[in-house]
A and B are shown apart, each in its own frame.
Chain A
């Protein structure tokens, strides 16, 4: 980064006393920086506002220096800015020369895991799962009577899932937390993943509801949701073939990175989320929204699978500790 300019400087009232380049470049460098370091994206509204500021700044600049024509300034400035952004995005350093990531982890290091069972009193099973700053709560109700009779299945249980993000989960407060396409898609993903491991044929004519909510979003919410749902299902005593555990991995700066956080996630690089059944060694979920050469993809996926296994080990520990507690407390 050439120079660290504060926000006050960027959105300052009087840009006129500075030459155009000195005013614009820091703005965009720190814009890119914002993208890289803040926990939330700049939404459309904000960037529009900054655009307006830009124009108004330009006008006042023109008023003071009338000898330069506005179109020329705009043209040169925009060209320079876009070049600069491109360079910045390419140069953005996600892995330092010392081999450390932005949050200080090694490339193959996972964030700290934390799980708690039995957090919702009324639910049959519930859990909170944390991966670093990502925090997800899951509650399972059921197996219970099917609410909508027409959906009842006579040979297996009906699994339903609802994913939502709390309004306060992101840096910018969310306006419409429910019913958008993203959460519908993730609900579906979680439902399909969990259905693959629940022994639904043992609970015919009943329904299992899984509710997951993101309390803090810092990348990898999808994985955290699946892990939390697994814990909650196990707590509810629902028979499963195996745990499903999920973890993501990415590829930035020609390095495979395990368990991306928000900054790395929003870098726009490939992000592979996988869900595996560790004991059966099977994959139930694989998502990637970018292109990767096959050999690199294999590496990245291998890394994510290793992460899943580590998570499975942790979940197993938590669950067996919980069972032991319940049993000795019950006595008899």
Chain B
């Protein structure tokens, strides 16, 4: 059994147990025992016909699970949704990845998938913001854009013959700096409309990548390149390049204030606690945990302790039961 690796006192153990039991009671009604282990037979209606999806196989005329997870049914399709598996990309997912190799005309990124993802030089916005063919010179200067071990935010473009391709054709995509990268199991991140979050009371950007990589960093203003472009169309080339070089130098000099760094750690620890307990990580839950920490006068480092962990579990149980009563 997956256990918490935390020293809990007897009362904390009882409290945690009670909170978890409450959570279990809340969920059993919603999902009626659809979880299967490997080689379990999945009951299907053979007369109606069915389609075998991921995580299933046929054995002696029975549908059998090949992974541990939850059986999902969509019309005739029967598939097993795994929980702790690696990330499975879908087109349009917003992901955070780390550059592991600079190859000809492309970067290779580690995105917690079974293969490395490819980000082509031609599918990013150049720093000077001009749309043009990528020349050999651009190819030589690729390390000026992204280097090895840089953390990058991008979007899944689709599968090509040589693997998974990404794109970063907007100002909001690109290199992530001055922050923390957290890696949590990808099943804890839900696909939503919005994966970027600007938490203005903390001055922090939070990116919940669909692949389970979460970025918590200092907020950076992204100017809408198109608007700026239209505003000063003439002499854009020269001014832009200058602009860029000064901003780079400026970035070197500006340093993140202590308060922001503390806030980054606070939010990162909130996410760590949630992933440790196996609770889904959404912006609402993260903010609730952060606020709970603040209201309990918890230091940032205390947020990873056993007491806070139990508190979060109790709060989550409460939150879910309230939600259930409302809905």
- The answer to whether B116 and A145 touch across the interface, beta carbons within 8 angstroms, is yes
Which of A203, A237, A240: most chain B Cβ within 10 A?
A237
- Complex Cα distance A290/B84, Å? 42
B187 at the interface (CB under 8 A from A): yes
- Complex Cα distance A303/B83, Å? 35
Given A117-B2, A118-B2, A237-B82: A242 touches B38 (CB 8 Å cut-off): yes
Given A234-B38, A320-B68, A329-B23: A206 touches B83 (CB 8 Å cut-off): no
- The stretch that binds A, out of B203-211, B274-282, B303-311, is B274-282
- The answer to whether A322 and B115 touch across the interface, beta carbons within 8 angstroms, is no
Instruction: Considering the complex, give the chain B residue whose CB is closest to the CB of A325.
Output: B2
B297 at the interface (CB under 8 A from A): no
B70 at the interface (CB under 8 A from A): yes
- Complex Cα distance A322/B36, Å? 10
B31 at the interface (CB under 8 A from A): yes
Given A143-B114, A237-B83, A322-B2: A280 touches B59 (CB 8 Å cut-off): yes
B283 at the interface (CB under 8 A from A): no
Q: How far is the CB of B47 from chain A (nearest CB, A)?
A: 25
- Complex Cα distance A118/B1, Å? 8
- Complex Cα distance A241/B2, Å? 24
A279 at the interface (CB under 8 A from B): yes
- The answer to whether B114 and A324 touch across the interface, beta carbons within 8 angstroms, is no
A239 at the interface (CB under 8 A from B): yes
A72 at the interface (CB under 8 A from B): no
- Complex Cα distance A242/B84, Å? 18
CB < 8 Å neighbour of B23 from A234, A235, A328: A328
- The answer to whether A239 and B67 touch across the interface, beta carbons within 8 angstroms, is yes
- The answer to whether B1 and A321 touch across the interface, beta carbons within 8 angstroms, is yes
Given A239-B55, A331-B320: A326 touches B36 (CB 8 Å cut-off): no
Please tell me the number of chain A residues within 8 Å of chain B, measured between CB atoms: 42
Q: How far is the CB of A314 from chain B (nearest CB, A)?
A: 12
- Interface 1/0s, chain A 231-272, versus B by CB < 8 A? 000111111111100000000000000000000000000000
A105 at the interface (CB under 8 A from B): no
- The answer to whether A323 and B27 touch across the interface, beta carbons within 8 angstroms, is no
Given A237-B68, A241-B66, A329-B277: A320 touches B35 (CB 8 Å cut-off): yes
- Complex Cα distance A318/B82, Å? 16
Given A145-B116, A243-B39, A320-B35: A328 touches B3 (CB 8 Å cut-off): no
Given A143-B86, A235-B84, A330-B278: A323 touches B115 (CB 8 Å cut-off): no
- The answer to whether B115 and A206 touch across the interface, beta carbons within 8 angstroms, is yes
A199 at the interface (CB under 8 A from B): yes
- The answer to whether B83 and A323 touch across the interface, beta carbons within 8 angstroms, is yes
CB < 8 Å neighbour of B190 from A280, A318, A329, A332: A332
Contact residues in A for B31 (Cβ distance below 8 Å): 327-328
Q: How far is the CB of B15 from chain A (nearest CB, A)?
A: 16
A309 at the interface (CB under 8 A from B): no
- Complex Cα distance A329/B320, Å? 11
- Complex Cα distance A241/B3, Å? 27
Q: How far is the CB of B306 from chain A (nearest CB, A)?
A: 17
Q: How far is the CB of A307 from chain B (nearest CB, A)?
A: 18
- The answer to whether A145 and B279 touch across the interface, beta carbons within 8 angstroms, is no
B69 at the interface (CB under 8 A from A): yes
CB < 8 Å neighbour of A323 from B70, B86, B110, B190: B70
Contact residues in A for B222 (Cβ distance below 8 Å): none
Q: Which of A252-301 contact B (CB under 8 A)?
A: 278-280
- Complex Cα distance A37/B150, Å? 58
Q: How far is the CB of B91 from chain A (nearest CB, A)?
A: 20
Which of A145, A243, A321: most chain B Cβ within 10 A?
A145
B11 at the interface (CB under 8 A from A): no
Instruction: Considering the complex, give the chain B residue whose CB is closest to the CB of A328.
Output: B27
- The answer to whether A325 and B278 touch across the interface, beta carbons within 8 angstroms, is yes
A142 at the interface (CB under 8 A from B): yes
Contact residues in B for A125 (Cβ distance below 8 Å): 84
- Complex Cα distance A203/B279, Å? 28
A124 at the interface (CB under 8 A from B): yes
Given A144-B114, A239-B66: A329 touches B35 (CB 8 Å cut-off): no
- The answer to whether A331 and B27 touch across the interface, beta carbons within 8 angstroms, is yes
B220 at the interface (CB under 8 A from A): no
B120 at the interface (CB under 8 A from A): no
Q: How far is the CB of A234 from chain B (nearest CB, A)?
A: 5
Given A237-B82, A318-B1, A327-B31: A199 touches B64 (CB 8 Å cut-off): no
- The answer to whether A327 and B83 touch across the interface, beta carbons within 8 angstroms, is yes
- The answer to whether B188 and A330 touch across the interface, beta carbons within 8 angstroms, is yes
Query: 29 interchain pairs (CB within 8 A)?
Result: A116-B1, A118-B3, A143-B114, A144-B86, A144-B114, A203-B114, A234-B37, A234-B38, A234-B67, A234-B68, A235-B68, A235-B84, A236-B84, A279-B39, A316-B38, A318-B1, A323-B36, A323-B70, A325-B1, A326-B83, A326-B84, A326-B187, A326-B278, A328-B23, A329-B279, A330-B187, A330-B188, A330-B280, A331-B26
Q: Give 6 closest A-B pairs by Cβ, nearest first.
A: A237-B85, A143-B114, A328-B27, A329-B278, A118-B2, A237-B82
Q: Given A116-B3, A206-B115, A237-B85, 20 more contacts at CB 8 Å?
A: A142-B114, A206-B114, A234-B68, A236-B84, A237-B84, A238-B67, A241-B39, A321-B1, A323-B37, A323-B68, A323-B69, A324-B35, A327-B35, A327-B83, A329-B20, A329-B277, A330-B187, A330-B278, A331-B280, A332-B280
